[in-house]
Amino acid sequence: MRLRFWVDPRRLALPVTEAARDDPDPRDHRAAPGATRDRLIRVAGALFAERGFARASVRDICARAAANVAAVRYHFGSKEALYREVLLGSHRELRDREPIPRLADFRRPTDALRAWLGFVLRFLLLRRPAHSYAGQLIARELEQPTAALTDLVRLVMQPVRTELEHILGALLGDADSPARRAQLANFALGLCVFHEFGRPVLERFGHPPPTDEPGVDALADALASFIAAGTRALRHR
């Protein structure tokens, strides 16, 4: 079978209308339907999160998933397609699990800020069984941008940042201006993200970021006070 453009072989025989849908998959009438495919996505998520795209090799992924190397091509078409599948899956999981805190849902902007920080930090830092890899995947994406980064920013990060800017706008009050708000959003984002992807350095300094619920909450509390005060300070300049 020589292919110019790769087509999922499992879908070749399906009617177009059926194949066009992408959520329910009607080909599950095997003994362990989609078992290898699922295992690959799970293992690849962990390995991509741990090492980044480039350094997680197809052979490693397949070995840990007890699958043949050719399974990646068969089920996804390529390593990069598998990566996108993992990213989108994490994104979906994230979206369905917890909504982004919105300014309008809180009495005071500082409360909204605290909620926003808790949301983002849990997402980035928390490690627990069956927890999504999305946060670490995104942190990896910052380091070694792949072609998927642009989509990732647009789909996942932009909505979160937009909500942050609303909150900061409320905190700035009269002094609100696009440039100032963007600068402060950079600050807040940096403070959150650095705790995940600066982890190797912070660990060597002897001050590793928290990975459990109470630790993350405490960090969010401190950051909320810190950012609120800093924002107020920049209001009067």
Q: Does residue 95 touch DNA according to CB under 7 A?
A: no
Tell me, residue by residue from 207 to 226, as one string, x for binding to a copy of itself by CB under 8 A and - for no binding.
x-x---------x--xx-xx
Q: Does residue 162 touch DNA according to CB under 7 A?
A: no
- Tokens at 194, concatenated: 């650095």
Q: Does residue 75 touch DNA according to CB under 7 A?
A: yes
Interface segment toward DNA; rule CB under 7 A; list 7-15, 97-105, 126-134, 149-157: 7-15
Cα torsion angle, 223, 199, 79, 58, sign = negative
Give the C-alpha separation, 157 to 237, whole Å. 29
Pick the binder of DNA from 12, 20, 179, 233 (CB under 7 A).
12
Q: Does residue 20 touch DNA according to CB under 7 A?
A: no
CA-wise closest residue to 89 among 137, 51, 128: 137
CA-wise closest residue to 216 among 135, 118, 106, 137: 118
- DSSP letter string, 142-158: HHS--TTHHHHIIIIIH
- The residues that touch a copy of itself, with contacts defined as CB under 8 A, are 52, 54-55, 142-145, 149-150, 153-154, 157-158, 161, 182-187, 189-191, 193-195, 197-198, 200-202, 204-207, 209, 219, 222-223, 225-234, 237
